[in-house]
Structure 1
Amino acid sequence: MSGHSISIDVAVIGQDQLGETPLWCERTRRLWWLDIEQPKLRWFDPATGIDGLTRLPGTFAGTQALMADGRRLLAEDLSLYALDLGTGARTDLSAVEPGLDNRLNDGRVDARGRFWVGTMDNQLHRPAGGLYRIDPDGSTTRMAEDVIVSNGIAFSPDGRTLYFTDTRRHLGFAFDLDMHDGAITNRRVFADHTATGERPDGACVDVDGCIWMAFFAGGRIVRHRPDGAVDRTIPLPVTNPTCLCFGGDDLKTLYVTSATKFLTPQQRAAEPLAGALFAVHGAGQGLPENRFGQTTKTATVQPQGGKT
């Protein structure tokens, strides 16, 4: 980290059981994230310092995405629905894998407005999950299988590379993504943590095309270059960082969610910030989130002040 001035603030002391899937919404100018296992949609306004929440149905609220019409795409267990945050009106969209002991997990929208989302085994060891592409009309296509815990879905700035992690296989993958038909090919290992047994979790991409990743039970976030090599590591004051995204009006604040899940009472006592939302400054600059149902230009944000 030499040459980089990093500072870390606690944005919200939340005690999330499983904080996840942070997204910056430029329309509301808020950071939104989930507590998956105590299902709620949470938000933080950096301009005022105020935060709030909406309680959600189901056992697990596994993922979320922004929508073109301003609604929120949310997961309830193995189903996806659109929620109008103003009226509370819900529209069911899609369901996957009925009857399996799985749930939806991490997801992200590509530049053509398609939502990519994975499923995971609730027992954390069976390869019964998959990776799905949800088109704006709600049609659902299984794109990969033999997944234990899907995570870390992100796209390169040009939209042509899909990154995907199987946390419990300790592997990160990359695919070539056809922007026109949504096909993925040329699956290859991007980052291999099998030797250490570490658990790569949520991910996002910065303007340089580097991939930031949180390590659950690893107490840190790291930046991978596009070739998979790690070029930056930032330790955090919690054991379980879970996911991350760039936010703020200039997309220069790296927000990181965390979890109290799996911590012993002794660890909880020693980690008063477990489950908090963190704001990391000086890590770089991100890209705007795509919206479900909306085609966007790729790499519309340019680095300011040179390479980070």
Structure 2
Amino acid sequence: MAEPGIEIVPTTTLSGHRCHLGEGANYDAASNTAWWFDIVERQLFEAHLGTGAVECHGLPVMGSALAIIDDRHQLIVTEDGLYIRDIGDGRLTPHVVIEADNPANRSNDARVHPSGTLWTSTMGRNAEPGGGAIYALHKGELTRLFAGISIPNAICFSPDGTTGYFADSRENILCRVGLDSATGLPTSTASSLYVNRSKGVLDGAVVDTDGLIWCARWGGDCVDAYTAEGDRVRTLRVPAQQPSCPVFVGADFRLLLVTSAWQGMDAAARAADPGHGHTFLLAAGTQGRPEPRVKMGAG
């Protein structure tokens, strides 16, 4: 089918802070709070959507994604493993070490399956080919699901939990895999769903209530929507060249928060891209879903 043209939808700037590498967007509906990271600068951002206030928290390690455990705690995905973070005072407690024998890697994309299982990932600090992997934290145990991935991204899940999606940004391929809806673990081998041949590369993604996969296109100044059959059906303009990670936010989940980055851009490129590194809210004209909370124990 013919791929869609670019739509211009109502867009506002949630945060004018210029993230070096904005990533890992998440939303806690209970507190109406959005979270995202600047990976390179070791910063965690907290945006209170009711007031518009945005706070920046320094981190002792590079963080790239998070999951909500409960009203007081988060699970932070970092360069050397998973930490439990106390939301009140920011204290980090080590939880699970990931790839302790490979300091050349760091964390990257992550998202929670509807069952409460966390999928998280690693990649080379210099995006070395085939250096990364995707893992699942299920009932407190960490299992490697996929290896040989250069830049793992676009981790997200169908509303019923029976399909998982992920991309290798280096290959520019969005993949799908059958899952056990009760565990979030694969029941089949992964297969190619969509190969991006347009400008830019596939980055972070999230799924709406209709099962559309909304994927940021780094270098393409847009977010694309794909069907579960692999057709690109919508493309929304983002006012930054390097959008990186979307998540649905707000009381009705009808706003799409999108992070961006200026990593790899020289002074001239940044000057030509006024929105570089900002974090945006797009009226996408669709409805998202609440992000599941991660289950930590064996129960």
Given that residues 125 and 168 in structure 1 are in contact (C-alpha distance below 8 angstroms), is that contact kept between their aligned partners in structure 2? Answer: no
**Which one-letter code corresponds to 2:240 in the other structure?**
V
**Which one-letter code corresponds to 1:103 in the other structure?**
R
2:131 equivalent among 103, 124, 128: 128
**Which one-letter code corresponds to 2:145 in the other structure?**
M
Which consecutive residues of structure 2, in runs of 5 or more, have no partner in the other structure? Answer: none
Match in the other structure for 1:71: 73
Measured in 2, the distance between the counterparts of 1:183 and 1:48 equals: 38
2:162 equivalent among 160, 163, 184: 160
1:83 aligns with 2:85: yes
Measured in 1, the distance between the counterparts of 2:222 and 2:46 equals: 23
Which consecutive residues of structure 1, in runs of 5 or more, have no partner in the other structure? Answer: 296-308
Given that residues 25 and 65 in structure 2 are in contact (C-alpha distance below 8 angstroms), is that contact kept between their aligned partners in structure 1? Answer: no
Q: Which runs of 4+ in 1 moved over 6 A?
A: none
Measured in 2, the distance between the counterparts of 1:67 and 1:265 equals: 40
Structure 1 residues 231-266: Cα deviation after superposition (integer angstroms, max 9, x where no partner): 101122211000001100110001100001111100
Distance 1:183 1:293, change over 3 A: closer
Distance 1:127 1:197, change over 3 A: farther
Give 1:78 deviation, angstroms.
2.5
1:7 equivalent among 7, 10, 21: 10
Measured in 2, the distance between the counterparts of 1:123 and 1:217 equals: 18
Give 1:182 deviation, angstroms.
4.1
Given that residues 67 and 292 in structure 1 are in contact (C-alpha distance below 8 angstroms), is that contact kept between their aligned partners in structure 2? Answer: yes
Identity across aligned pairs (percent)? 30
The 3-state SS of whatever aligns with 1:63 is: strand
Give 1:69 deviation, angstroms.
5.3
TM-score w.r.t. structure 2 length? 0.92
Structure 1 residues 17-52: Cα deviation after superposition (integer angstroms, max 9, x where no partner): 011111111122111111111111102122212111
Q: Which moved more, 1:256-265 or 1:183-192?
A: 183-192
Distance 1:257 1:112, change over 3 A: same
Q: Which moved more, 1:127-136 or 1:202-211?
A: 127-136
1:18 equivalent among 21, 39, 47: 21
1:33 aligns with 2:58: no
Give 1:136 deviation, angstroms.
4.0
Measured in 2, the distance between the counterparts of 1:32 and 1:104 equals: 17
Matching of residues 226-305 of structure 1 within 5 Å? 226-293=228-295
Measured in 2, the distance between the counterparts of 1:262 and 1:146 equals: 24
Match in the other structure for 1:56: 59
The 3-state SS of whatever aligns with 1:286 is: coil
Give 1:135 deviation, angstroms.
2.1
**Which one-letter code corresponds to 2:59 in the other structure?**
L
TM-score w.r.t. structure 1 length? 0.89
Measured in 2, the distance between the counterparts of 1:5 and 1:258 equals: 17
